Amino acid sequence: MTASTACLGHPRIGLQRELKRASEAFWSGRLTADQLHDVGRDLRGRHWSAMKAAGIQHIPSNDFSFYDHVLDTAVMVGAVPQRYRDIEDPLARTFAMARGLQDRGRGVDVEALEMTKWFDTNYHYIVPELERAQSFQLDAGKILREVQEARALGIETRPVILGPVTFLLLSKVVAAAPAQVSPLDAVDALVPLYEELLATLAANGVGWVQLDEPCLTVDLDARTREAFRWALRRLSSVPTRPRLMLCTYFGALEENLEIACEAGFEGLHVDLVRAPTQLESVLRGLNRGMILSAGVVDGRNVWRTDLDQAHGLVRRAVRALGAERVVVAPSCSLLHVPVDLRSERKLDPELKSWLAFAAQKLEEVRALADAAESDVGQGFVFAGSRAAVEARRGSPRTHDAVVRARARDITPALLNRGAAFSVRSRKQIERFGLPAYPTTTIGSFPQTDEVRAARAAWRAGTLAEDAYQAFLRAETRACIAKQEALDLDVLVHGEFERNDMVEYFGEQLQGFAFTENGWVQSYGSRCVKPPLLFGDVSRPRPMTRDWATFASSLTKRPVKGMLTGPVTILQWSFVRDDQPRAETCRQLALALRDEVNDLDTAGIGMIQVDEPALREGLPLRKSERAAYLRWAVDAFRLATSGVRDNTQIHTHMCYAEFGDILGAIAEMDADVISIETSRSKMALLADFGRFAYPNQVGPGVYDIHAPRVPSVDEMEELLRRAATVLPGERLWVNPDCGLKTRGWPETEAALRNLVQAAARLRATG
């Protein structure tokens, strides 16, 4: 008997981003709910059939979502906050929880739930909101419908369910004193619903369930460990239930291995890409008869698997357990990688041979399972892997001696500004003369259909370079004029020339390559196409100087130069795995240092270097964090410390918890940091106050991810809360994030309110 195969989750969006287009058409009223459900049904069927054809035996269902699987779990257990319960249509209610809903004609105006990063990935989940004494009610309809859909295609699936303890740990409690209430207080009320769910699935003939508990790979306190122990044992004790695969990923179980092995489940999945050394302890700890799902194919990156190395792990498991107790799988859900490499028609053939997207990763899983009882892997999949690994290792395209020498020559002096913030601040006040509560935006302005059409035509060669540049200059000129009309204090050029905040820079740096259809979901309908960072990084020529100086020539107000920081470019690319990430980040920082210095020399007095992914890259285990923060902070400082004292360095971070890394953020020594705080009602800013953050802060007062225009009163209230945490003279006023995805009418309306809110604060102090 050979080992069996599994997929923990499939990309949802479709090869051509069909889900994105359908969702946005539904939101705009161009598609009915029935038509949207038809698109979802078609995508699910296509993906199930593709997995079956690839030889996958444990095929997931309930991994599909129209927005987010954590939000779907909240709906499944009835954790729907009161403000949404009057929305009768279930689909509209779910989207309102994710995006907010504003319909002034019907008197509806509800804000969205908070959103934050899914562990250390660039996927964002919707944060469930619980009441102090939360009650739950099961709705298993979605799970059962998908099981039946698959059966109609002749496919038995393994439903994927986010486990109860991880669900609670990812939630927040809304209470008068939330610090005194833990989401885990609800575990006694929640676990019976999961027991009911398992019994329901068994009654409907479901043979296996995948219960995802990724929080088992993080540091847990005694209470949380006991909650896991109790909850998992309760679920394993359900009298009539499917067999259970406890699924962990993104790290090693370490001290939590005992909890997983003693849960009484039939199977355990572990991530052997992130944590291959845990295999021996897992093999020793597994209970008799327990199945091991070995995650040996990387579910988070696009490089072809070294199948010989992965085969060694599978063989070790098979020798210890027997093939019948081993399942070969990706390390985690394939949500984080593109759908199919075969759709890439323009990639350089050599580079393409180094890659594997979701479809190819399933082929690797099948090949590894087929070879599980052989000492040497055979066949074309193994042969291709060996050739790719050898080609990458020896390719001159991945190594640049000049870049490596420059990185070796970095000295501590390159990491420090010329003067302390207290000195720089006085010089910057003198240079810019801004009012109290200065207003600005984060960088991008709406990318309209016209902007996207012009870019597409230019790329296709049907719009000449001169005509495209003239179009972009006209858009920039209009954007500057609109900002002046709104009376913003510090302007931006709008970024109409940019397709994406990482891809744009990657296109101008050595060491990057790009795909046509390498899309992955970031949140909801927001998809990104991460560059392939395959080689040593350098900057052949200036990237942003001309646009920054052009925009500055159009106004007497300060205009920020806009860059993406080294850590964010690293995190939001598919990064080479043949050298330490810290080394790649240093190379990025040196390239960006050249750009920052060019902007400074050109007279751009404010330069924003965005690092929204700094917190995202933080290791899940506390013991590994200090080393990461050291090289991440040093990379930012290396990129930004070469400017004059009166040049103001800004940075931006969003949708993450910052309280545990504020020391590192302060060490970055940016003159101004803007952060996302509107969805949390300034709760995130409280950490900055407790820490006594020394520099200037722009707390977001406008949630750009929701299609609603906040009122002046709403923004003013948030600003007044901010002013109770930090001195008013150190506060800026800005949206949460860039405005690229919004439309001009709502953008102008919201910014008009933002400026009025700032004016009220100035008038009253």
Which sequence positions are flagged as catalytic? 705
Structure tokens at 472: 């972009």
Q: How far apart are CA 557 and CA 567, in angstroms?
A: 30
First to last CA, the chain: 76
Q: How far is CA 471 from the centre of its chain?
A: 32
CA 518, 512, 673 angle in degrees (round to 5)? 90
Asked if residues 564 and 588 have their Cβ atoms less than 8 Å apart, the reply is: no
Name the DSSP class of 55: T
Question: In 18-89, where does DSSP find H-type helix?
Answer: 18-27, 33-53, 69-76
Asked if residues 314 and 368 have their Cβ atoms less than 8 Å apart, the reply is: yes
β partners of residue 651: 673
Between 465-486 and 545-552, two packed helices, what is the crossing angle to 10 degrees?
Answer: 50
Cα–Cα separations (whole angstroms), residue 138 to 78, 150, 198, 555, 708: 6, 22, 11, 58, 31
At 348, which helix (H) or strand (E)?
none
Asked if residues 249 and 274 have their Cβ atoms less than 8 Å apart, the reply is: yes
DSSP 431-465: HH-PPSS-B---SB----HHHHHHHHHHHHTSS-H
| β 532-538/510-513 pair status | antiparallel
DSSP 689-750: HHHT--SEEEEB-S-TTSS----HHHHHHHHHHHHTTS-GGGB-BB-SS--TTS-HHHHHHH
Asked if residues 361 and 299 have their Cβ atoms less than 8 Å apart, the reply is: yes
Q: Which of 145, 114, 149, 140 is nearest to 128 (CA)?
A: 114
Q: Which of 674, 673, 676, 675 is nearest to 695 (CA)?
A: 673
The amino acid at 390: E
Asked if residues 392 and 354 have their Cβ atoms less than 8 Å apart, the reply is: yes
Between 465-486 and 449-460, two packed helices, what is the crossing angle to 10 degrees?
Answer: 160
Question: In 572-624, where does DSSP find H-type helix?
Answer: 581-601
Cα–Cα separations (whole angstroms), residue 531 to 463, 508, 538, 603: 24, 11, 15, 31
At 295, which helix (H) or strand (E)?
strand 291-297
| β 208-212/243-247 pair status | parallel
Q: How far apart are CA 714 and CA 701, in angstroms?
A: 8
Residue whose entry in the numeric block shows the structure tokens 């949460």: 736
Structure tokens at 9: 């989750």
Asked if residues 14 and 339 have their Cβ atoms less than 8 Å apart, the reply is: yes
